[in-house]
Amino acid sequence: MKKVGGDVPKYLEIFHRVYKDDCVSSYHQCRSRGTSNKQTKMKVVLVFAAIVALAIAAPQGADKDAVVVKSSFDNIGTDGFSYEYETSNGIAAQEQGTLKNVGTEQESLSVQGQFKYVGPDGVTYTVTYIADDNGFQPQGAHIPSA
DSSP secondary structure, 71-123, as one string: EEEEE-GGG-EEEEEEETTS-EEEEEEEEESTTSTT-EEEEEEEEEEE-TTS-
74: three-class secondary structure by DSSP: strand
Query: d(Cα 10, Cα 2) in Å, to the nearest integer?
Result: 6
Distance CA 40, CA 46 (A): 10
Mean pLDDT on 16-23: 48
- Residues near 97 by Cβ (< 8 Å), separated by ≥ 6? 80, 81, 82, 109, 110, 111, 112
Q: Which residue has the higher pLDDT, 95 or 30?
A: 95
Determine the residue type at 106.
Answer: Q
Report domain extents, the chain.
Answer: 3-58, 62-139
Alpha helix segments (H runs only) across the chain:
10-21, 37-57, 61-64
Q: pLDDT at position 65, please?
A: 83
Q: What angle do CA 39, 45, 46 make, to 5 degrees?
A: 90
| Tens digits of residue pLDDT in 75-115 | 877 778 889 999 998 899 999 988 888 888 888 888 999 99
Phi and psi at residue 125, to the nearest 5°: -105, 135
pLDDT at 85: 92
Per-residue pLDDT averaged across 53-71, rounded?
A: 71
Chain-wide mean pLDDT for the chain? 74
Query: What amino acid occupies position 104?
Result: T
pTM passes above 0.85: no
Task: Give the model's pLDDT for residue 112.
Answer: 93
